[in-house]
Structure 1
Amino acid sequence: MSLRQLFSGSADADSTPVGEAEPDSLVAGWIGRTEFKLWILTIVVMLVDVLLTIHGLSLGLRERNPIARVAFESAGPLGLFGLKLMAVVVGLSCRRLCPDRATILIPVILLIPSAIAVGVNSALIAVTLG
């Protein structure tokens, strides 16, 4: 099963003949493509967040999130990557429990705090270096 099939929810995601799609499947196809792009964006932003956090810590900044602090203190950078990986795995697992039209919210819910963290980390690093 490919990654795209995982996001579409079936192994036969592309088997519907053109012109025979129901209106709901057109919406599902749009949500599937958009959701796939959101998952990619979320993972990229999470990786940037971890890299900026590691860089900030190397400059002497402190991790304010107590869970991330314990992960970093016990496993170093791999602990931070592990936390993000766990968040993605939980999100993908919860995806199966959501109605089809709501699955697009899962990557958005993961993306927002990571994007905020990237902004905060960037500002703190800029102030530290500036």
Structure 2
Amino acid sequence: MPLATTDPTAVDLSAVDEYLGSAPGSVSDLELLLWALVGWALVLDIVLTAYGLSIGLVERNPLMRQAIDTFGLAALGLAKAGAVGVALVFRLLWPEYAIVAPLGLAVPWVLAVLFNAALLASL
């Protein structure tokens, strides 16, 4: 009967996969936290943009400025909903990169919220 040997350098990656949400069918606490951050940033960005526009500031993104001029603030909500939709499709197609989808939205949107809040506070 052969003896089983264990490799002392082997690492069980299942715990890492579970933490990052990349195990099939799993959603990690970190990923849920990031999706919550995405939702928070989405709402705050729309609210701060609406407030800024109401006091006479101008949207700096020329495409979004044209869309807002044409369709109102609904254009901003639709653009953000479209971005979330693309991120969700990415997350479903490549679950091994589950953390990338909310992170890719959370980082720029939180930065936009911080920038807008700082700009409004400086007025």
Contact 1:71 1:83 in 2 (8 A): no
Moved >3 Å (runs of 4+): 26-29
Match of 2:47?
A: 51
Match of 1:17?
A: none
Q: How big is each residue's C-alpha offset from its partner over 1:50-92, in whole Å with a ceiling of 9 and x where there is no partner?
A: 1101100111111001222122112211111111111000000
Q: How big is each residue's C-alpha offset from its partner over 1:80-116, in whole Å with a ceiling of 9 and x where there is no partner?
A: 111111100000011123251x210111111111111
Match of 2:121?
A: 126
Match of 2:69?
A: 73
Match of 1:108?
A: 103
Q: Which of residues 75, 81, 92 is equivalent to 1:85?
A: 81
C-alpha displacement at 1:23, in angstroms? 5.4
C-alpha displacement at 1:122, in angstroms? 0.9
Gaps of 5+ in 1: 1-21
CA distance in 2, matches of 1:27, 1:114: 27
C-alpha displacement at 1:27, in angstroms? 3.3
Q: Secondary structure at the match of 1:96?
A: helix
Q: Which of residues 44, 51, 63 is equivalent to 2:59?
A: 63
Q: Which of residues 3, 22, 27 is equivalent to 2:16?
A: 27
Q: Could you state the TM-score of these two structures normalised by the residue count of structure 1?
A: 0.73
Match of 1:3?
A: none
Percentage of matched positions with identical amino acids = 37
Contact 1:38 1:108 in 2 (8 A): yes
Gaps of 5+ in 2: 1-11, 21-26
CA distance in 1, matches of 2:106, 2:56: 26
Aligned residues: 105
Greater Rg, structure 1 or structure 2? 2
Question: For residue 27 of structure 1, what is the amino acid of its counterpart?
Answer: V
